[in-house]
């Protein structure tokens, strides 16, 4: 083969490589656009848990700190309990950490009413709701032992969870005129808890 023929063959080989690359690119490019495509989607999903929430207006102050009681002593106090939860719920009232000496709690009478009007600072305007009278009428001792948890608590009201709802509770204590002398110097203590559970 002559030098000229050899040179022509080499030039043809060098020219052929780029042409082959271009041709393959065209084939790949054509293949990448050869399928139709379609999608559908659902927007980002979100979940938020509801809640139950209770508060009161006592500023963490006990309703009663009564001293020097004697037969015939009495007192009353109101407290506003508010539900701000987003779920329907059932609210119950029960006692906590009862204690007594000299049997005072067994002689001290307690009445609990639910209604409207009045605040922790002043019961003026309180009106009991319903025809059933009070939520509780008995002794402090009986309240503490009978109503000791949500399971056996006193049903009060059922917030709907659609808006803030409040109820006023009036507590009245009385040491009867016939209280026995054995309670002299005695003490009685009882906390009150309102608990809401979603329904």
67 vs 5, higher pLDDT = 67
Query: pLDDT exceeding 70 applies to what percent of the chain?
Result: 82
pLDDT score at 156? 96
pLDDT at 193 over 60: yes
pLDDT, mean of residues 7-16: 51
pLDDT, mean of residues 164-177: 97
Residue matched to tokens 């009663």 = 64
Least confident window among 25-34, 39-48, 123-132: 25-34
pLDDT score at 13? 53
What is the C-alpha separation between 165 and 59, in angstroms, rounded?
Answer: 19
Going by the DSSP 8-state scheme, the letter that residue 156 receives in this structure is E
pLDDT, mean of residues 29-39: 75
E strands along the chain, which residues? 54-56, 74-83, 89-101, 109-116, 127-128, 136-139, 154-157, 165-174, 187-198
pLDDT score at 52? 98
List, for residues 48-63, the tens digit of each pLDDT value: 999 999 999 999 999 9
List, for residues 96-142, the tens digit of each pLDDT value: 999 999 999 999 999 999 999 999 999 999 999 876 668 999 999 99
pLDDT score at 19? 47
pLDDT at 179 over 60: yes
- Confidence band, pLDDT 50/70/90 cuts, at residue 34: confident
What is the C-alpha separation between 193 and 79, in angstroms, rounded?
Answer: 12
Rg (CA), the chain: 40
pLDDT at 185 over 70: yes
The encoded tokens of residue 98 equal 């009862």
List, for residues 90-108, the tens digit of each pLDDT value: 999 999 999 999 999 999 9
What is the C-alpha separation between 113 and 197, in angstroms, rounded?
Answer: 21
């Amino acid at each position: 083969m002559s030098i000229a023929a050899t040179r022509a063959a080499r030039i043809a080989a060098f020219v052929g490589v780029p042409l082959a690359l271009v041709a393959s690119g065209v084939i790949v490019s054509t293949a990448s656009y050869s399928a139709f495509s379609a999608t559908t989607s659902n927007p980002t999903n979100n979940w938020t848990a509801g809640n139950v929430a209770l508060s009161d207006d006592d500023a963490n102050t006990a309703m009663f700190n009564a001293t020097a009681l004697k037969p015939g002593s009495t007192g009353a106090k109101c407290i506003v309990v508010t539900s701000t939860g987003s779920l329907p719920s059932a609210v119950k009232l029960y006692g906590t950490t009862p204690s007594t000496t000299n049997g005072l709690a067994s002689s001290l009478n307690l009445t609990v009413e639910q209604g409207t009007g009045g605040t922790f600072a002043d019961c003026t305007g309180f009106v009991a709701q319903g025809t059933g009278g009070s939520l509780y009428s008995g002794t402090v001792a009986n309240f503490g032992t009978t109503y000791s948890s949500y399971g056996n608590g006193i049903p009060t009201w059922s917030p709907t969870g659609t808006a803030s709802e409040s109820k006023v509770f009036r507590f009245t204590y009385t040491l009867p005129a016939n209280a026995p002398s054995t309670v002299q110097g005695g003490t009685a203590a009882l906390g009150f808890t309102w608990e809401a559970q979603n329904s």
